[in-house]
Amino acid sequence: MTALVKNTHTAFTELPVVDISLLFSDDLDKRITASKSLGKAAQDAGFLFLKGHNVSPALIENLKQSAKAYFIEEDEDTKMSNYIGLSKNHTGYVPIGEEGFYSTEKKKPDLKEAYDIGPDSPSLLSRFEKEASTQWPSNDNFKKGVKPYYEAMLELSRVLFKGFALALDLPEDTFTKHLTQPPSQLRLIHYFDNPEAKETDSGIGAHTDYEFFTILLPTAPGLQVLNGASEWINVPIVDGCFVINIGDMMETVTNGRYVATSHRVRQVKEERYSFPFFSSLDYNTIVEPNTTIMNDDEKPSYEAIICGDHLLAQTIQTFSYLQKKAARGEVNLPDNARSLLSFGQAAIKEG
């Protein structure tokens, strides 16, 4: 079923700033107040700056230093000893050219390397590997700096899931009751410096994120988002703020009230790090339009999907090691797998 919904995004020229301090209050009325600002930004732009998140600056700094030490100091052979294709739960080092979004742009590698962190099990690959452990580098300092940040993102994700539920006038635990062992992932991304970079040079191609929402921490400019007037808007760095964006599954559950915003990374002249945390619910959660929030004459515009199956299908279509596994019959796309770019502005335009 192709989404036949109207894009709710405005012709914004800058991202809204949302303070979620009150979401930590013991007073429900105050949490509801904060949630309405969160919901409005999600509906109008699908992207926002988030402040008042209570994540320690020291935790953030430790993450940055751990990532820089790994990507700069480790040689290629050491990095490839933790190649993501060697893992059983889609964790580890992602070299340049391993991943690509080629559907709408010239087929050339994204100019980045990364390290993916996720749960041991159940993981993204739990259909094929029931038991697995996260692949960590042998340098313990990396895990010491990264794992606490991953855990902090899980907690912030829980707060935001409650906030989005309240924003939609749903019970506060609508999402969190499906949040016990989610296959949520943290990516540490290193974009190479390129002083001669042009607008057409891609750090990562245009796409939407697969999950419910993403909590992003960037260290330098380069991110661009598509507004409601189909214009690419540059996203600056705002001290003390995360960047939040809506993903495919939140678009589904809201029946298009919140639309996943297409975004890309362009013209990276200076070395850049980016740390997206992809917030998901438990693998077997069924995601479908919530009829409670729909108008009387409104019909569902999205088919039901299984949360983890959607993540798996999209990941198989973008990672070369999984495509090779699929060719050998070691993994396969789940039933009713969606093609890339099945959500957000691209899907609406096709509809």
Most confident option among 30-34, 96-100, 231-235: 30-34
Phi, psi angles (nearest 5°) of residue 99: -120, 145
Confidence bin at 151 (pLDDT 50/70/90) = very high
Place of tokens 């192709």: 2
Which DSSP string do the residues of 49-68 spell out, in sequence order? EEE-----HHHHHHHHHHHH
**C-alpha distances out from residue 23 to 53, 246, 334, Å:** 9, 18, 36
DSSP H or E stretch at residue 171:
none
- What percent helix, strand, coil does the chain show, rounded to 5? 30, 20, 50
- Residues 6 or more apart whose CB falls under 8 angstroms from that of 349 comprise none
Residue 46 CA to residue 261 CA, distance in Å, equals 5
Query: Of 76, 38, 32, which Cα lies nearest the Cα of 246?
Result: 38
The number of angstroms, rounded, from the C-alpha of 168 to the middle of its chain's C-alpha atoms is 21
Q: Is the pLDDT of residue 101 over 80?
A: no
Structure tokens at 46: 């699908």
Q: Dihedral through CA 255, CA 261, CA 262, CA 265, nearest 10?
A: -150
Structure tokens at 95: 């070299």
- pLDDT tens for each residue of 186-198: 999 998 877 666 5
Q: Is the pLDDT of residue 2 over 50?
A: no
Q: What is the CATH number of the domain that holds 306?
A: 2.60.120.330
Q: Is the pLDDT of residue 79 over 60?
A: yes
**In 10 A of CB 329, how many CB atoms?**
7
Residue span of the structural domain in which 72 resides: 17-350
- pLDDT tens for each residue of 44-66: 999 999 999 999 999 999 999 99
Q: What mean pLDDT value characterizes the chain?
A: 89
Residue 199 covered by a domain? yes
Buried b / exposed e over 196-221, threshold 16 CB at 10 Å, is ebeeeebbbbbbbbbbbbbbbbbbbb
What is the 8-class DSSP label of residue 83? B
**pLDDT top residue among 264 and 286:** 286
Confidence bin at 271 (pLDDT 50/70/90) = confident
Please report, rounded to a whole number, the percentage of residues in the chain having pLDDT higher than 70. Answer: 88
Residue 273 CA to residue 54 CA, distance in Å, equals 22
Q: Is the pLDDT of residue 104 over 50?
A: no
Q: In a 3-state reduction of DSSP, which class is residue 233?
A: strand
Q: In a 3-state reduction of DSSP, which class is residue 318?
A: coil
- Number of compact structural domains in the chain: 1
Structure tokens at 11: 């012709």
Residue 350 CA to residue 347 CA, distance in Å, equals 5
Q: On the CB side of 309, how many CA atoms lie within 13 Å of its CA?
A: 14
Confidence bin at 351 (pLDDT 50/70/90) = very low
Residue 329 covered by a domain? yes
Residue 2 covered by a domain? no
Residue 1 covered by a domain? no
